[in-house]
Structure 1
Amino acid sequence: MGAKLSSANDGAVTVVVIAYNDAEHVTEAVASALAQGDAVGEVVVVDDASTDDTPHVLERLAISEPRVRVVRRAVNSGGCGTPRNDGIDAARHPWLVFLDSDDVLAPKAVDTLLALALRYDADVAAGLCVRRELPGGREIPWQEQLFTTESVHDGVAGRPQTLWDTLSVNKIYRRDFLVSRRIRFPDGAAHYEDFVFTARVYAAGPRFAVTPETVYIWHVRYGTGQASISLRRDRIQNWQDRVTAHQQVLEIVRESGDHDLLIAAQTKFLEFDLAVYLSELPQRTPEYQDAWWRITREHVGTFETEAARRAAVAARWRAEVLLGRERSAVDVRRLAELAVNPPRLTPPYAGDARRPLWDEAGSPSEGTGEIVLDGLADTPVALLPLYVLGNVGTGRRLVLEVRMADLYGRTAHAGPERATVELRHRVTGAAHRYEAAWEAEPGGHGWRAVVTADAAALCEGGTITTWDAWVTVAFRDGESATRPLRAGSGLKRLVRMGRRGRVLLLQPYATNSGCLAVRVADGLSGMRRVVAGRISRRARS
């Protein structure tokens, strides 16, 4: 990871841990901070007036470890910003790192960040954060594209994509930089306080260093009944809070006088924030959808035209539909598909390549005016929102029929030649690949390819494995596009005979984003686990 620091830098860092009613996890968080080594001079734990056993746990930690210092608030603040501000005020060392009580710092994170900041004389240094899903343990890098190489920047204006990193916890800060510029978190019950804090940091023009090393483990606990604010997206207030935070971000950047950074902040909202919520919008009630549509139109309607022009075509089209239409169930479903990653635009396709339309225009008085999909002709085919469907066959082996629609003639012009279907192991990333040639569908509306997989090869000795289905489309000019398969027909449990007479249970299904995945249970023990899991889920519901 980072270079070993000299003794002159021992005790240079204060790790600020915030906690509220988290006696179960706070010890692990503090231990991860103490394990960073001599560079950590103190761990300041701010207890936001917990009412559970957290104060007693922290008292024991402070007695057993002299580097642990507890700051206890008399009244709960209602959010995360105030206790972090308390930690900034209480810190005694020149560098700061923030940590939440239910997360952990990666091994050597502080050494890595501090060495990076010192090497480049940076005010702020950032590393990769990994979301660890519990209890399963799957790890998903957060905004991985921002942390591919080590780099340093004088301000973030030359690297506007930095705005996509809205986390406060994957960074080390020069305390004097924060204090001298009066950079604070929003106080009180403000949600998405990280958005506002990081905007204030970026707008202040820090010397900013980046490392590809993992420095923070963000624990995402499912099924605990204690979802974080960012995971409570089924509540319309969550979206309103996010929009309010983004309005503050825009005001902060606007006051900095950096117009390009302002456009970048608006473009980021169109490409990322909108997509996260749009992809789930069909699951919400009509009342939620109406409120969401109104809040979003009011906010996005204030954006500059250049923000949409700089966005990828899918984000641009989403904004055009939102601003140009009243909500309809059909539009919500299609927008949700266009908001997944990578995006896909479902047929039918109105108009043609010269004038592609969102749909056959209705009456403007009914809020269904004509919407032209700008940018189609200029976008490389590999970046277009191709729609590729995966149907599961019912033969003795696992048969996948792949169908691809022709997107306004652009796909036909590119000339799809070969399809490579991959079944990717969800945990290890191991893949089984199958190739087939594309065959044109009658009527010229799309293409079809069929592959057959050996189901026994997907088994792992009596366990349950999950495989995600992807396809790579190779075009005539040598270009290619890789997409997850959209789940089509044949989503039912299939029993097959594997090698040596073993029984296999295959369960093709649609993921939350509508993609095709296959769950494989090997042997009778694996099948019992699947059945037991289904019974358990039914009992809980």
Structure 2
Amino acid sequence: MPHRQLPQIAVVVIGYNDAAHVTDAVRSALAQGPAVREVVAVDDCSTDGSAELLARLAGAEPRLRVVRRAVNSGGCGAPRNTGLDAVTAPYVMFLDSDDVLPPGAVDALLTAATEERAEVAGGLCVRRELPSGREVPWQGRLYAERAVIARPARRPHLVHDTLCVNKLYRTAFLNAHGIRFPEGRFRYEDVVFTARVLAAGPRFALVPERVYVWHVRRSAERLSISLDRAGIDNWRARTEASRMAYEILLGAGQKELARAARAKFLDHELRMYARELGLRDTRYQRAWWTHTRAYLAEYDAADWTPDPTAPGRLLARVVLASTEPRDLPRLRELAARPARLLPPYTRAADGTPVWSADLPQVTLEPLLTRPVRLLPFTVDAQLRPRARGTLLRLRLHELYGRMEEACPEAVEVEWRMRDGGGRGCVRAAGAGSVAFTPALDGTWTADTTVDLAALGACGAGTWDLRLHVLFADSTGREVTAHAVTGAGRLRRRAVVSARHAVVLVQPYATHSGALALRVAPGARGVAAVVHRRLRRLID
């Protein structure tokens, strides 16, 4: 029998009050085939009948064992530790009750681990937005191709994948190093667990196959920890987990990984929460700003190199330089992906580019030599209704002379359906390449039209604007556009469609300030919009 078919894997499934989904999770683990020796389902003292449901499943499946905790832990770490202590198989994986393992996940990871003699094998996780079905790869760059990494320090980017669920671990390795999750009501336990794994210096095997489907239910009554970011306690927990990860890696002598973990915090966590800061009230903003400044004060000089104008580092330097929240709209755009640095572009008395006149200590001088493809330049986008269609006006801003130096010639316009959900119609071409025209104010403009009826022909959904700016040297860069509001902007509008009779289109700015369109075609789409508006009025 091939080694990948031997019963060597334990899958630890944890759940709390998730009777609606836990069956699918357990069955997805059992369906992996004979390589799965046991599925250990840990019920964290549920009160919704989950334990009874699992007990019935176990009665018909000898590979399933159910462990019920007597007291709810309040987190995910303790039940995972409970399951880990109960497994007998040589390898172990983790699965949350509201997610699933795709077919072939176990075989792909086990084959890699055994053939490469690796203590840890990791594969691609996809975030599946529900109910749309849109899938977004998690850390796809890391899993683009097969790789074997003798020591984590040789691939510092490993610190960016803090998930524990898309990996297979040699049980003896975890036990020998005493690697466990934080106990109790500890949020972001994955971050600390992953740091402990990396600190132990395991041999890693990476595979490009999909091995985990992470279900994202933003409309759920009880949001997951990663989605429930409205309270300041969530941010404090995030920074504490990041601090612990840094200290674990540094304490193990993994200085390069510790430095990478700090850089990852600036590029990922800080940018993510900064994009949402404008949505919070003043009290939250002040608390966030004060806590963030205190945390960033722990960074040393080496943490700001080699590029102090990289978006996350620049954002952090602005926070450190000001005692009060400021420039939130501008910071939101800087935190976008890709980053956009909105005007005004200020210079100090000696001509050095700076963040603003009252924050001259935040220098932007590295922007003068940074490659054009990495510059946080800004393209404004404004929709204007016209009798013969809808005009999309694009305006590219100068950035300390770098745009003039690169000589922007044209821009390619494309609308992409965000929630395609496998319907096939996920893109709508714009007018192809549209030439830029230099303006007297030092900007470049380009006008094209938007066929709103064509977007509606693909059904209800959200469309994101993507631009590909082309320069004179034949290089280019894909960017999103800053949504311009004000006089003349297009509000919700009804558009005549040969297929649907009428299409409702609503432009809006995303959390990061980019232009997007919500489209609702036909009588059913119109009715759904009216129903949602009435419900908001009633609520």
TM-score w.r.t. the length of structure 2 is: 0.94
Distance in 2, Cα, partners of 1:58 & 1:491: 53
Distance in 1, Cα, partners of 2:174 & 2:36: 19
Distance in 1, Cα, partners of 2:79 & 2:499: 61
* Deviation readout 1:344-386 (Å, 9 max, x if unpaired): 111111018961110112xxxxxx5542124212211121111
Distance in 1, Cα, partners of 2:229 & 2:471: 39
**Which secondary structure state, in structure 1, belongs to the residue aligned with residue 226 of structure 2?**
helix
Letter in 2 for 1:527: V
- Using the TM superposition, give the Cα deviation of residue 300 of structure 1 relative to its aligned residue in structure 2, in angstroms: 1.3
* Deviation readout 1:481-507 (Å, 9 max, x if unpaired): 111122113240222333379333322
Residue 396 of structure 2 corresponds to 404
What percentage of aligned pairs have identical amino acids? 46
**Which secondary structure state, in structure 1, belongs to the residue aligned with residue 209 of structure 2?**
strand
Residue 447 of structure 1 corresponds to 444
- Is this contact kept in 1: 2:90–2:172, CA < 8 A? yes
Residue 82 of structure 1 corresponds to 78
Pick from 143, 147, 150: which aligns with 1:151? Answer: 147
- Is this contact kept in 1: 2:99–2:214, CA < 8 A? yes
Distance in 2, Cα, partners of 1:153 & 1:538: 56
Change (3 A) 1:125 1:538: farther
Residue 98 of structure 1 corresponds to 94
Distance in 2, Cα, partners of 1:196 & 1:501: 52
Matched, 1:322 2:322: no
Distance in 2, Cα, partners of 1:204 & 1:7: 26
Matched, 1:381 2:380: no
**Which secondary structure state, in structure 2, belongs to the residue aligned with residue 403 of structure 1?**
strand
Residue 302 of structure 1 corresponds to 298
Distance in 2, Cα, partners of 1:451 & 1:423: 12
Which aligned pairs between 1:423-462 and structure 2 lie closer than 5 A? 423-428=415-420, 429-434=426-431, 435-444=433-442, 446-460=443-457
Letter in 1 for 2:417: H
Letter in 1 for 2:382: N
Residue 244 of structure 2 corresponds to 248
Residue 26 of structure 2 corresponds to 30
Matched, 1:497 2:489: no
Residue 513 of structure 1 corresponds to 512
Residue 273 of structure 1 corresponds to 269
Distance in 2, Cα, partners of 1:102 & 1:90: 21
* Deviation readout 1:164-205 (Å, 9 max, x if unpaired): 000000000000110011111111111111000000001111
**Which secondary structure state, in structure 2, belongs to the residue aligned with residue 166 of structure 1?**
coil
Distance in 2, Cα, partners of 1:466 & 1:265: 34
- Is this contact kept in 1: 2:12–2:92, CA < 8 A? yes
Unaligned 5+ runs, structure 1: 362-367
Letter in 1 for 2:436: W
Change (3 A) 1:245 1:8: closer
Pick from 153, 156, 170: which aligns with 2:166? Answer: 170
Letter in 2 for 1:380: P
TM-score w.r.t. the length of structure 1 is: 0.94
* Deviation readout 1:26-82 (Å, 9 max, x if unpaired): 101001101111100110011112222011101101101111001111112221111
Change (3 A) 1:8 1:520: closer
- Is this contact kept in 1: 2:4–2:107, CA < 8 A? no
Distance in 1, Cα, partners of 2:31 & 2:500: 51
Pick from 15, 35, 43: which aligns with 1:19? Answer: 15
Residue 365 of structure 1 corresponds to none
Cα RMSD for the two superposed structures: 1.8
- Using the TM superposition, give the Cα deviation of residue 266 of structure 1 relative to its aligned residue in structure 2, in angstroms: 1.0
- Is this contact kept in 1: 2:414–2:427, CA < 8 A? no
Residue 534 of structure 1 corresponds to 533
**Which secondary structure state, in structure 1, belongs to the residue aligned with residue 26 of structure 2?**
helix
Change (3 A) 1:95 1:389: same
**Which secondary structure state, in structure 2, belongs to the residue aligned with residue 271 of structure 1?**
helix
Letter in 1 for 2:53: V
Change (3 A) 1:132 1:16: same
Change (3 A) 1:101 1:420: same
Residue 313 of structure 1 corresponds to 310
Unaligned 5+ runs, structure 2: 421-425
- Using the TM superposition, give the Cα deviation of residue 135 of structure 1 relative to its aligned residue in structure 2, in angstroms: 1.9
- Is this contact kept in 2: 1:135–1:222, CA < 8 A? no
Residue 364 of structure 1 corresponds to none
Distance in 1, Cα, partners of 2:265 & 2:402: 28
Letter in 2 for 1:22: D
Change (3 A) 1:293 1:328: closer
- Is this contact kept in 2: 1:133–1:220, CA < 8 A? yes
Which aligned pairs between 1:389-400 and structure 2 lie closer than 5 A? 389-395=380-386, 396-400=388-392
Distance in 1, Cα, partners of 2:87 & 2:110: 16
Residue 357 of structure 1 corresponds to 354
- Is this contact kept in 2: 1:263–1:304, CA < 8 A? no
